[in-house]
Chains A and B, each alone.
Chain A
Amino acid sequence: MKQNFKNLLKSNFNWVTLFALVLFVGFVDPNFWRPSSMLILLGDIVPLFVMALGLTFAIYIGGIDLSAQSMANMITVIASVYLASLGMWIVPACILTGAVLGACSGIITTRFLVPSFISTLAIGMVCYSLAQWLSGNRALYMNAEKRDALFGWMLSSTGIIPNTIFVGAGVFIFVLVIERKFVLGRRLKAVGSAELAAAASGIKVARVKVLAFALSGGLAALAGVIFSIKLSGGAPSIANGFLLPAIVAVLVGGTPLTGGVGGVVNTLVGTMIVAVIRASMLYLEVDATHQQMVFGLILITAIVFTIDRSKLTIVK
């Protein structure tokens, strides 16, 4: 009985953490418990959530995508520049750009055996530089008319529910179906669980990995699109501060750096934890300059608790 309870607690650690945090912040400031304020909180975190969902796939196969933030940055610039000419097509164009660049990271990793942390870091630099070049290193504004006509709905609410939540939910369902119902999702799991066994089962491991990074890149781009619509503009460093919380969201949710377990549901919980932590820092009046410090510490804690040491022989 006691053992069962312990196991239950362990396998649902992310939910327990979430509820404990919600209770805690609520006690500090009961306003936090109001459904409307919670919904606003969730609506605000949607771009980060979408980025974290993409990162989940990279981490699920045992890799990492450090280009996600620069990708989103670049996409805010692209979206701001081309919204006027492309209109609605800006969304698929941006996602495609992200997916292609993500696939490049994947190809560099699988073909040339460059570890993903370095290939994605390098692709991230390319994105950052492209963004600077495209924007002339300035903040850009979107064509307000077009934005309001095409995407204005995203900024309003249905009842007390901010519409961005519906966008987040849609993306979430899409990736959940990929993970649980698609052959691709199963292959991703197989590669993350035991890459050599996957190869020995005739799975084309390299292709699966490339697709994981393409998904990550595409979703990071979508995060960039949503973010730029919210801000009605873009700049080469506007999404800075996304990467660390997004990685935290994946890991705190329970997808370890070693891959193979967890998934997008875990990332949903993890993102909510990140949202609550952010809000709590607001309520507890933690200085904005200290926030990344908190996330850095949480990141290390999360890795220490989630990593599967049986898969690691050497760490450098």
Chain B
Amino acid sequence: MLEFKNISKEFGPVKALSNINFRVEKGEIVGLVGENGAGKSTLMKIIFGAYQADSGTILIDGRQTRFTSPRDAMANGIGMVFQEQSLIGNLSIMENIFLGREHEFRKFGLLNFQKMESAAQQQLSKVGLKVDPRMQTFDLSFAQRQLVELAKVLTLEERTSRDLVILLDEPTSVLSEDEVELLFNLVNNLRSRAAFIFVSHRLDEVISISDRVYVLKDGEMVDEVSAQDADPAKIQSKMVGREIESGYYKQDERETYNEKETILSLKNVSKENSFESVSFDLHQSEVVCLVGTEGSGREAVLRCIFGMNNPDKGQIIYFQNDKIKIRSPFEAVNNGVGYMPRERKIEGIFASMNIAENITSSQMEKYSRYGFLHLTSEQDLARDWVDRLSIKTPSISTDCGRLSGGNQQKVVLAKWRSSGAELMMLDHPTRGLDIGAKQDVYSMIREMSASGVGLIVVPDTFEEAIGLAHTIFVMKDGACVKRFAPDKERVMPIDLVAAMT
């Protein structure tokens, strides 16, 4: 009854989705799986009307429609239960359920809360939640809030004559096993009221609840299987299986690292709500990749090493020197630790500063005397690095905001390379870059590794991890659960997925 045909979406040069075909039948539960960045959220947002497809058609019961906004989509019976819950904590449950539609309870210009309460009660009974609708939402547990959210979406039943399709975005990510089971029972019971699209990275759950499973990969729909004959191993290989031309990750330039020279040592490091008891060593010239799902704590580990957050427990030893204590980025930079953040535009680059200014931003002491900047040596440095990394720019005094993403990333790398950082944290260094720029970043990682820098990388994809790393640590729910050594043994993406889920 709901069908998407040949849907494509581009963000600048990045193809997020190409020619997606997707349909949902009445009362059906459809699973949608794919690794991080495969295009799941983009597809969800198109279904829910938050994004508009660049091309393709949307059919409801065979008739062509268009959603220009979530409001439109809702009017057509499509609702969404958000992963980041969309309820407002300081409003009551009933106010949340009827948010934006209070006028339905207006009487002489005043709100009739009694009527709202009984209406809310009715919605809550659909999801079997027995709480007082006048309760403040932040007093509920996470699972309860999710049910309220579902109840809110189910109000669409009364609002449209259409059949409902409800999107569930990673609904189980923070639920306990019992709660997951309750949710699944509920969803099954609601089949008569609505069809569901279930998005998750937990493959076993998706297979157990869905009738059909779609597999998304690099913005393309690579498989569609019915749940009866779904084979988790096969789906996993479809999720990650990518023919890589040899040398894409400059594997031949991966040299052996120096196992005798430890430059970073984590001993049972914990940070509340992020990760727990993480221990590993990083050696000279070694590239370590941290692999895991969103929220597995990988990024938080990097930030703790760089001093942006401080660990609650455990010990981090830098360069085998007990005396080095890093509690802030300032101390990290002074001790030769560099960090390339994930949000390049917000944390990585100074958009309104030129290349020279960006490169020296972490090492102004070196390019100044008595507080006076040494502008000519700074410009020489910038010129040198623009040449070395072949940064494409009209001049070294061009503002970095006007460079392409790949060239911005090169500027950030030039900053840390030129300041002599011996320990680098790279958080999604190739995110949003085209293939050519990605290769440039890989070359730079190799070059740093060859010159003795130890690197910890949070990669974008499994292939990237396997191609780049000497050592891979798989993180799951804040713990390091498995170690792989792709420089010595053959590691397949599927091995990583198996360890993650």
Residues on A lying within 8 angstroms of B by beta carbon are 181-187, 189-190, 192-194, 196-204, 260-261
B351 near A: Cβ within 8 Å? Answer: yes
A-B pairs with the 3 shortest C-beta distances? A202-B333, A201-B362, A193-B350
Chain B, Cβ-Cβ closest to A177: B372
Complex CA distance for A163 and B364, rounded to whole angstroms? 38
B299 near A: Cβ within 8 Å? Answer: no
Tell whether, in the assembled complex, residue B373 and residue A197 are in contact, meaning their CB atoms are under 8 Å apart: no
Tell whether, in the assembled complex, residue B357 and residue A201 are in contact, meaning their CB atoms are under 8 Å apart: no
Tell whether, in the assembled complex, residue B352 and residue A261 are in contact, meaning their CB atoms are under 8 Å apart: yes
Tell whether, in the assembled complex, residue B352 and residue A260 are in contact, meaning their CB atoms are under 8 Å apart: yes
Other contacts beyond A183-B371, A194-B349, A197-B349: 4, CB < 8 A: A186-B361, A190-B353, A199-B329, A260-B352
Q: Which residues on the B side are within 8 Å of A187 (C-beta)? A: 364
Complex CA distance for A204 and B333, rounded to whole angstroms? 11
Given known contacts A182-B371, A183-B371, A202 and B362 CB-to-CB distance under 8 angstroms: yes
Q: CB < 8 Å: which of A186, A193, A196, A204 contacts B351?
A: A193
Chain B residues with a Cβ closer than 8 Å to the other chain, count: 32
Tell whether, in the assembled complex, residue B347 and residue A197 are in contact, meaning their CB atoms are under 8 Å apart: yes
Complex CA distance for A210 and B347, rounded to whole angstroms? 21
Complex CA distance for A27 and B448, rounded to whole angstroms? 65
Q: Which residues on the A side are within 8 Å of B410 (C-beta)? A: none
Tell whether, in the assembled complex, residue B330 and residue A204 are in contact, meaning their CB atoms are under 8 Å apart: yes
Q: CB < 8 Å: which of B343, B353, B371 contacts A193?
A: B353
Complex CA distance for A183 and B343, rounded to whole angstroms? 26
Tell whether, in the assembled complex, residue A189 and residue B357 are in contact, meaning their CB atoms are under 8 Å apart: yes
Q: Which residues on the A side are within 8 Å of B346 (C-beta)? A: 194, 196-197
Complex CA distance for A267 and B194, rounded to whole angstroms? 61
Tell whether, in the assembled complex, residue B334 and residue A202 are in contact, meaning their CB atoms are under 8 Å apart: yes
Q: Which residues on the A side are within 8 Å of B361 (C-beta)? A: 186, 190, 197-198, 201, 203
Residues on B lying within 8 angstroms of A by beta carbon are 306, 308, 328-334, 339, 341, 343, 346-353, 357, 360-362, 364-365, 368, 371-373, 375, 415
A/B interface sample: 15 pairs, CB < 8 A = A182-B372, A183-B372, A184-B371, A186-B357, A186-B360, A190-B350, A193-B352, A193-B353, A194-B349, A197-B347, A199-B308, A200-B329, A200-B348, A201-B329, A201-B362
Complex CA distance for A194 and B351, rounded to whole angstroms? 7
Q: Which residues on the B side are within 8 Å of A183 (C-beta)? A: 364-365, 368, 371-373
Chain A, Cβ-Cβ closest to B345: A194
Chain B, Cβ-Cβ closest to A196: B347
Q: Which residues on the A side are within 8 Å of B360 (C-beta)? A: 186
Tell whether, in the assembled complex, residue B372 and residue A200 are in contact, meaning their CB atoms are under 8 Å apart: no
Q: Which residues on the B side are within 8 Å of A202 (C-beta)? A: 329-334, 362
A308 → B minimal CB distance (Å) = 8
Q: Which residues on the A side are within 8 Å of B328 (C-beta)? A: 204
B358 → A minimal CB distance (Å) = 9
Q: Which residues on the A side are within 8 Å of B357 (C-beta)? A: 186, 189-190
Tell whether, in the assembled complex, residue A200 and residue B364 are in contact, meaning their CB atoms are under 8 Å apart: no
Q: Which residues on the B side are within 8 Å of A184 (C-beta)? A: 371
Q: Which residues on the A side are within 8 Å of B352 (C-beta)? A: 189, 192-193, 260-261
Tell whether, in the assembled complex, residue A186 and residue B373 are in contact, meaning their CB atoms are under 8 Å apart: yes
Q: Which residues on the B side are within 8 Å of A194 (C-beta)? A: 346-347, 349-351
B419 → A minimal CB distance (Å) = 9
Tell whether, in the assembled complex, residue B347 and residue A200 are in contact, meaning their CB atoms are under 8 Å apart: yes
Q: Which residues on the A side are within 8 Å of B334 (C-beta)? A: 202
A231 → B minimal CB distance (Å) = 36
Q: Which residues on the B side are within 8 Å of A186 (C-beta)? A: 357, 360-361, 364, 373
Most buried by B among A181, A185, A200, A260: A200
Q: Which residues on the A side are within 8 Å of B343 (C-beta)? A: 196
Q: Which residues on the A side are within 8 Å of B415 (C-beta)? A: 201
Q: CB < 8 Å: which of A185, A197, A204 contacts B350?
A: A197
Complex CA distance for A203 and B357, rounded to whole angstroms? 13
Chain A, Cβ-Cβ closest to B344: A197
Complex CA distance for A137 and B347, rounded to whole angstroms? 49
A263 → B minimal CB distance (Å) = 11
Complex CA distance for A187 and B349, rounded to whole angstroms? 14
Q: Which residues on the A side are within 8 Å of B330 (C-beta)? A: 202-204
Tell whether, in the assembled complex, residue A182 and residue B329 are in contact, meaning their CB atoms are under 8 Å apart: no
B384 → A minimal CB distance (Å) = 19
Complex CA distance for A203 and B371, rounded to whole angstroms? 14
Complex CA distance for A183 and B306, rounded to whole angstroms? 23
Chain A, Cβ-Cβ closest to B341: A200
Q: Which residues on the B side are within 8 Å of A185 (C-beta)? A: 373
Tell whether, in the assembled complex, residue A200 and residue B339 are in contact, meaning their CB atoms are under 8 Å apart: yes
Chain B, Cβ-Cβ closest to A192: B352
A190 → B minimal CB distance (Å) = 5
Complex CA distance for A192 and B351, rounded to whole angstroms? 10
Tell whether, in the assembled complex, residue B348 and residue A181 are in contact, meaning their CB atoms are under 8 Å apart: no
A178 → B minimal CB distance (Å) = 9
Complex CA distance for A196 and B329, rounded to whole angstroms? 11
Chain A, Cβ-Cβ closest to B329: A202
Most buried by A among B331, B343, B350: B350
Q: Which residues on the A side are within 8 Å of B332 (C-beta)? A: 202
Q: Which residues on the B side are within 8 Å of A189 (C-beta)? A: 350, 352-353, 357
Complex CA distance for A260 and B308, rounded to whole angstroms? 23
Complex CA distance for A181 and B353, rounded to whole angstroms? 15
Tell whether, in the assembled complex, residue A181 and residue B375 are in contact, meaning their CB atoms are under 8 Å apart: yes
Complex CA distance for A204 and B349, rounded to whole angstroms? 17
Q: Which residues on the A side are within 8 Å of B333 (C-beta)? A: 201-202
Complex CA distance for A193 and B400, rounded to whole angstroms? 11
Chain B, Cβ-Cβ closest to A260: B352
Most buried by B among A186, A199, A202, A261: A202
Chain B, Cβ-Cβ closest to A189: B353
Q: CB < 8 Å: which of A182, A200, A203, A260 contacts B373?
A: A182
B22 → A minimal CB distance (Å) = 31
A233 → B minimal CB distance (Å) = 38
Complex CA distance for A101 and B104, rounded to whole angstroms? 54
Complex CA distance for A190 and B343, rounded to whole angstroms? 16
Complex CA distance for A184 and B373, rounded to whole angstroms? 9
Complex CA distance for A205 and B361, rounded to whole angstroms? 12
Complex CA distance for A189 and B360, rounded to whole angstroms? 13
Q: Which residues on the B side are within 8 Å of A199 (C-beta)? A: 308, 329, 347
Chain A, Cβ-Cβ closest to B347: A196
Tell whether, in the assembled complex, residue B373 and residue A181 are in contact, meaning their CB atoms are under 8 Å apart: yes
Complex CA distance for A197 and B346, rounded to whole angstroms? 6
Complex CA distance for A193 and B353, rounded to whole angstroms? 7
Complex CA distance for A182 and B371, rounded to whole angstroms? 6
B344 → A minimal CB distance (Å) = 9
Q: Which residues on the A side are within 8 Å of B373 (C-beta)? A: 181-183, 185-186
Most buried by A among B362, B372, B415: B362
B281 → A minimal CB distance (Å) = 25
Complex CA distance for A182 and B350, rounded to whole angstroms? 18
Tell whether, in the assembled complex, residue B348 and residue A197 are in contact, meaning their CB atoms are under 8 Å apart: yes
